[in-house]
């Protein structure tokens, strides 16, 4: 057995905080509002948290630890196709970080979530609530975004569903991805294709910049 430290502590906190904030933003729309007095405001505030978390993650994807970076997990179409073939043969090539298909899925999820949170800033429900940027690019723009916000939310649900299916498939093949997102460590019987020899050490300056940018983004919109 070979243990690889894959997910640094910031990626793990980011991941579970994102799950909580996205769940809250959906929940506040799907109920009659209980237990919240103004569910649309909680919806928006959860969205500001998503925006802050994504700000952190976009920076971390370029300046973070090895496995958190795009260059570690966005692979060529050829590598992605050969990984897909290994998956169909039920003998997937082991990857420590995101596998080639998972890597592209992560990028699409980040883009879709970013669009969702940013578009929300321009919306109004015409009754109780207007986002902080509502009308700033014209009411017609805000009105057009309403249907894109709704459509992309459905796309997001499909992506989240696929994410859960992928986790279940990997669990059936003996890979415990959820546990790794808590502990940061994955264990392998074969050496992963993307194994590296260096340890995962936090680059302190980029960590501070990414965390402050993320918190700043959330707080900025929260205070509007
Ligand atoms: C990741 C974050 C977000 C998710 C997953 C999300 C999801 C959704 C969903 C599913 C709807 C219902 C669409 C429909 O079927 O009509 C909705 C509506 C809405 N969202 Fe968001 N949203 C997010 C962020 C935000 C943010 C940041 C704001 C405001 C600052 C916002 C403001 C609104 C408003 C005002 C509506 C109601 C629009 C209407 O009344 O037609 N959302 N959102």
Is the distance from CB of 169 to CB of 115 less than 8 angstroms? no
What percent of the chain is modeled with pLDDT above 70?
99
Ligand 1 atom nearest to 129, measured from its CA:
35
Region 123-130 average pLDDT: 89
Å from CA of 63 to ligand 1 middle: 30
**What own/partner pairs with CB < 8 Å and gap ≥ 24 does 105-112 have?**
105/159, 105/162, 105/163, 105/166, 106/73, 107/70, 107/74, 108/159, 109/156, 109/159, 109/160, 109/163, 110/54, 110/57, 110/58, 110/61, 112/152, 112/155, 112/156, 112/159
Q: Residues 187, 6: contact at Cβ < 8 Å?
A: no
Is 44 a pocket residue for ligand 1 (Cβ < 6 Å)? Answer: yes
pLDDT given at position 38: 83
pLDDT of 126 reads: 85
pLDDT digit string, tens, across residues 135-190: 999 989 999 999 999 999 999 999 999 999 999 998 998 889 999 999 999 998 88
Q: Which residues contact 69 (CB under 8 A, 6 or more apart)?
A: 60, 61, 62, 63
3-state SS, one letter per residue, for 147-193: HHHHHHHHHHHHHHHHHHHHHHHHHHCCCCHHHHHHHCEEEECCCCC
Which of the four pLDDT bands, split at 50, 70 and 90, describes residue 35?
confident
**131 close to 141: Cβ distance less than 8 angstroms:** no
Specify the ligand 1 atom closest to the Cα of 154. 10
What 3-state class would DSSP assign to 5? strand
Residue with CA closest to ligand 1 atom 16: 150
Ligand 1 neighbour 11 (Cβ under 6 A) = no
Nearest atom in ligand 1 to the alpha carbon of residue 47 is 27
Q: Going by CA atoms, what residue is nearest to atom 10 of ligand 1?
A: 153
What is the distance in A from the centroid of ligand 1 to the CA of 123? 8
Query: How many other CB atoms are there within 10 angstroms of residue 41's CB atom?
Result: 13
Residue 36 has pLDDT above 80, yes or no: no
With 80 as the cut, is the pLDDT of residue 23 above it?
yes
19 CA from centroid of ligand 1 (Å): 16
pLDDT at 127: 85
d(CA 16, CA 33): 23
Residue 17 has pLDDT above 90, yes or no: yes
pLDDT score, position 163 = 96
Q: How many angstroms does the Cα of residue 9 sit away from the middle of ligand 1?
A: 30
Q: Which residue lies with its CA nearest to atom 38 of ligand 1?
A: 125
């Amino acid at each position: 057995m070979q243990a690889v430290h894959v997910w640094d502590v910031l990626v793990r906190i980011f991941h579970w905080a994102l799950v909580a904030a996205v769940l809250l933003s959906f929940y506040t729309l799907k109920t009659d509002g209980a237990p919240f007095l103004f569910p649309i405001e909680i919806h928006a505030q959860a969205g500001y948290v998503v925006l802050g978390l994504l700000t952190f993650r976009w920076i971390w994807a370029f300046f973070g630890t090895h496995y958190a970076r795009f260059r570690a997990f966005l692979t060529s179409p050829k590598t992605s196709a050969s990984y897909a073939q290994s998956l169909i043969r039920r003998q997937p090539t082991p990857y420590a970080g995101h596998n080639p298909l998972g890597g592209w899925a992560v990028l699409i999820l980040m883009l879709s979530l970013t669009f969702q949170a940013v578009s929300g800033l321009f919306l109004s429900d015409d009754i109780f609530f207007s986002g902080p940027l509502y009308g700033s690019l014209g009411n017609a723009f805000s009105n057009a975004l309403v249907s894109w916000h709704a459509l992309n939310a459905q796309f997001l649900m499909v992506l989240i569903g696929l994410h859960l299916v992928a986790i279940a498939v990997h669990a059936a093949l003996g890979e415990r991805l959820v546990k790794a997102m808590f502990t940061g460590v994955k264990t392998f019987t074969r050496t992963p294709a993307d194994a590296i020899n260096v340890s995962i050490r936090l680059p302190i300056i980029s960590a501070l910049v990414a965390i402050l940018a993320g918190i700043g983004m959330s707080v900025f919109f929260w205070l509007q």
